[in-house]
Amino acid sequence: MRSDARPVVVDVHVCGAVAGLRGLGAAGLRPAAFGRGWVDAGLWSRHATARGVTPKETDDGNDLAAALQRLAVGDGAPVVPYPSTELGIDLVAQASRASPAAVLAPFPLDAVQRLRRKSQIGELAAEAGVAPPPGLRATASELLTSTIRTPCAVKSDGPVGALRTTQIAQTPDDLRTLLRSLPADEVVLIQPRLQGPLRCLAVVVDRGGRVVTRFEHVATSIWPVAAGSTASGRSVVADESLVASAARLLASAGYFGLAQLDYLEGPQGAVLIDVNPRYYSSLALALACGVNLPAAWHAVVVGDELPAQAPYRPGVTFRWLKADLAATAHGRPSRILRHAPAPKTGAIWDARDPLPGLLCAAATVLRGAKRQVHAVARASR
């Protein structure tokens, strides 16, 4: 690999990408930032040493490949793009295939696809001795004729499907209504609903399957409430049995790099429900605790010296303010009034790098104002 390869963070409209930029920048790695438009928060981070924009909501990795290739030619060295969304993973993979000499994928392309298919996670987990939830996989039309116990969790089997997030069906009628709303050939995975708390483990593994670094937090609230991501949480000492089993699972998939794994409590203990081979929304908490996951991932990819594992600070709290604002808009006003106890960090605000947080806040206010205008317009008709 090329140790001079430059890191590039894509999807910089989301908070996980901003945290990724800050981690890479703090390690002196000169990251570039690519967004969908010039108002994307991460483009204006002080850590972004180059900036670019590719067409918004494109599903063609050739545009990103061309932009990254131009950056690589200018630098005289390849680039490594790091995604923060599921679409971003697809675009990075396409860009790497389109220009493999200039664009180095940050993960093995076949392995990352295995980890992103929900039903295959169960197979990999079983091989690695990790408890997967039982699941029923079939098309939406086939499941309409099946007898399925509720409440249950319903998700698209593929990483970018008709269901963008997991849905909870409380009753058989809820389930039938949801399935009828999907394309008949949409492949869906249905699993029993498990209760929290949500446990989130992030690990970086090297090309030999060894754990380079790890970080764990427990969510104290999620958004959406039924089945969502960490809205608030706190760092905890990593469960080394979970770390070991996660490493086995990733090795069985042939994966190296960063992966964030989600667990819920089942009758027999922690049950793996998802694997995210990308930057994730609460990544800022790991950085606040002294665990630089983005820098460790880049070191694995380019073959630099790997950081030594070290204890990190438990008890640091995290709050994703945007999630609490969304909860307030959906009838949960108490969420906006709560305060995270110190020591604490947010998803995007950092006084040392204020512009991304200010842009994100302005965008949130603008979207809220637009919703109010549309609501008033509908009511006046």
Query: Nearest Cα to 176, choosing from 141, 211, 201?
Result: 141
Provide the CATH number for the domain formed by 199-350 in this structure: 3.30.470.20
Residue 329 vs residue 99, higher pLDDT: 99
Question: pLDDT at position 379, please?
Answer: 58
What are the sequence ranges of the domains in the chain?
6-106, 134-192, 199-350
Residues 342-377 have pLDDT tens digits of 899 999 999 999 999 999 888 776 766 566 655 555
Picking from 142-151, 275-284, 366-375, which range would have the lowest pLDDT averaged per residue?
A: 366-375
pLDDT of 149 over the 70 cut: yes
Residues 186-223 have pLDDT tens digits of 999 999 888 778 999 999 999 999 999 999 999 999 88
Contact 325, 234 (CB under 8 A): no
Mean pLDDT, the chain, whole residue set: 89
Structure tokens at 259: 């992966």
pTM of the model: 0.92
Averaged pLDDT, 59-76 = 80
Give 270's pLDDT tier (boundaries 50, 70, 90): confident
Give 165's pLDDT tier (boundaries 50, 70, 90): confident
CATH of 6-106, one of 3.40.50.970, 3.40.50.20, 2.60.40.10, 3.40.50.2300: 3.40.50.20
* Alpha carbon of residue 83 to chain centroid: 9
DSSP 344-379: EEESS--TTSHHHHHHHHHHHHHHHHHHHHHHHHHH
Question: pLDDT at position 378, please?
Answer: 63
What residue type is 212 in one-letter code?
V
* Alpha carbon of residue 369 to chain centroid: 27
Averaged pLDDT, 2-15 = 90
Cβ atoms < 10 Å from Cβ of 233: 25
Cβ atoms < 10 Å from Cβ of 205: 25
Averaged pLDDT, 104-125 = 90
Paired with 270 in beta bridges are 265
State whether residue 140 is helix, strand or coil.
Answer: helix
Contact 195, 264 (CB under 8 A): yes
Please state, in angstroms and rounded to a whole number, the distance separating the CA atoms of residues 255 and 329.
40
Residue 380 vs residue 361, higher pLDDT: 361
Contact 103, 65 (CB under 8 A): yes
